[in-house]
Amino acid sequence: MEKNITFPTDAKLQYKAMKRLVKMAKGNGLKLHQTYLRIGRRRLIKAGRYAHARQMKRAQKERNKLKTYLGRLYRTLHRQIEGNTVLSCVFQETFEIVETLLKQTRKSKNKIYSLHEPHVDCISKGKAHKKYEFGCKASFVITHKEGLALGAMAFHKNPYDGHTLKTVLEDAEKQSKCQIDRAYVDKGYKGHKITDTTIFMSGQKRLTNWFKGKLKRRQAIEPHIGHMKYDGKLGRNYLRGKLGDHLNVVLCGIGHNLRMVFRYLLRMSLAPT
């Protein structure tokens, strides 16, 4: 589930952090000898132009200048509010984000990709049309025949699918108030270590024809997810924060169930009697 953020670049994030620091400084009555916003914007535009022309060394030089300006602003404000408990609390969250921006490199872990949504993760799913997605992982439990969503959860820090299966099944049992005897999953859930529910995995051998047919039915979950993305709000989450991620996933599942019910009632009303 993608978050409503722009595609992150170092220069863009650094300039946005500069604008936030200047705005907060003016709002709290702090005076800056220089804001660096005018020359910083010039460096941002040049970095984009050089990168477009594939002149990467020149683009990197402009990004380094932006990083220098951001570091100067950060240190200036840090010195001014040192010892002021109230202002330290006001600037604490922003300072932590700026510190991460100044330290992170290409291979760093827990990187910042957005200032207003610092918790988003970079997820690579191997899609040809979209190499990277920025948001969180959403997991759904859907009934085998009808396609109704029993459980919906959002997971941050991009966990392995096999480690999330037990949690989502327990949540689905809690919501539906019934025991799940069998679950059909794909190969991404290897190593789930679940013993109280029978798990059938794609490509599993030594199955009867009846179970093979049931396992083929697992692929029907893909169009349901597609409908949630394009008919619902799963494709782009506009709700803020981690709580917004959890709420959006649950509301997408509710909306999917309502659409299924309304379609069924419409078919029943139009059926000949």
Measured from the Cβ of residue 164, the count of other Cβ atoms closer than 10 Å reads 16
Percent of the chain residues past pLDDT 70, beyond the cut = 100
C-beta atoms surrounding 80 within 10 Å:
16
Whole-angstrom distance, CA of residue 248 vs CA of residue 268: 30
How many angstroms separate the CA atoms of 180 and 198, rounded? 9
- Confidence check: pLDDT of 19 > 90: yes
- Assign 203 a pLDDT band (cuts: 50, 70, 90): confident
pLDDT at 254 over 80: yes
Question: Sign of the C-alpha dihedral, residues 231, 186, 133, 164?
Answer: positive
128: Cβ–Cβ under 8 A, 6 or more apart, which residues? Answer: none
Beta carbons of 101 and 71 less than 8 angstroms apart: no
Output the six-digit token pair for 257.
């169930």
Rounded Cα–Cα distance for residues 15 and 37 (Å): 8
> What gap in Å lies between CA 168 and CA 139, rounded to an integer?
7
Model confidence at 110, pLDDT cuts 50, 70, 90, reads: confident
Query: CA 267, CA 225: separation in Å to the nearest integer?
Result: 22
Residue 240 has pLDDT above 90, yes or no: yes
Please give the residue that has the higher pLDDT: either 191 or 70: 70
Q: What pLDDT is stored for residue 273 in this prediction?
A: 65
Question: Across all residues in the chain, what is the average pLDDT?
Answer: 92
For residue 233, give Cα distances in angstroms to 17, 63, 73, 108, 175. 29, 35, 39, 31, 21
| Range 251-263 average pLDDT | 93
